[in-house]
Structure 1
């Protein structure tokens, strides 16, 4: 089983990550964390903008993966984890990773932006896409 989780540094994406870790642990699944960099000049988010520390970590995606793995080991959670860093539209990139890795489920955080509640968020678009079971974490 493969679970794809979108992480962007926002509070809801971090809760989605925690939820996905628990889900992967319980089901013995592989967890793939997807970080999407914006195209040059764009905002850095699936939901909210990144803090400076998260944005600087994107310069070295291996550091992000290493830090996450260390956290999992420290908490003694036996989860097979991989980080994928992409550049582009978050919805498109999450769909591509989920398709390429034969995902069984996708987990994302609910958008905290008011505009996304009106115009549609990545989570809404994933649910409407209907290719995978999608869990939207508040």
Structure 2
């Protein structure tokens, strides 16, 4: 039998990158966490481009851009928390988004993972972050358009 006091996720991990689909995913995850009283872990996997290290200052420029995106997302989170308080944390980590989300979902013992749908055509061939997370098969994955 289901226990009403313990149903629903207690930890929700959501991938964000500043794109419209990822912001929609964050809004959905925020509401899910609020309704279920869950802790929300928002994750920004900072891109690491191998080619950027071949040009002088390339890695520094890439890191600066990623930090600017992260700071903008932190500011939006502060605004959201003022409107509707949710227990949350924002984590940044360099690396491949699917690998970073998998690692953090495992570390936090996530009950659910939420990501935005990819709009890139190449992901139909190679596989999007969402598809890679679903294939991992360790948590329910919600893909938000």
TM > 0.5 fold call: yes
Does the 8 Å contact 2:14/2:42 carry over to 1? yes
Provide the secondary structure at the position in 2 that maps to 1:24.
Answer: helix
Q: Do the aligned partners of 1:107 and 1:135 also contact (CA within 8 Å) in 2?
A: yes
Match of 1:78 among 85, 105, 116: 85
Q: Give the 3 Å change call, closer, same or farther, for CA 59–41 of structure 1 in structure 2.
A: farther
Corresponding residue number in structure 2 for 1:119: 126
- 1:38-117 mapped onto 2 (5 Å cutoff): 38-41=47-50, 56=65, 58-59=67-68, 61=70, 63-64=71-72, 66-74=74-82, 76-117=83-124
Give 1:56 shift: 3.5
Deviation at 1:90, TM superposition (A): 0.8
Aligned counterpart, 1:6: 15
TM-score by length of 2: 0.78
CA contact (8 A) 2:33 2:39 kept: yes
Residue correspondences, number? 125
Give the Cα separation in 1 of the matches to 2:22 and 2:140: 17
- What stretches of structure 1 of length at least 5 have no aligned partner? 44-54
The verdict on how the C-alpha distance between 1:42 and 1:95 changes in structure 2, with shifts beyond 3 A counting, is: farther
Alignment gaps of 5+ in structure 2: 1-9, 53-63
Q: Which is greater in Rg? A: 2
CA RMSD of aligned residues (A): 2.1
C-alpha distance in 2, partners of 1:113/1:65?
Answer: 22
**Greater share of residues in helix:** 2
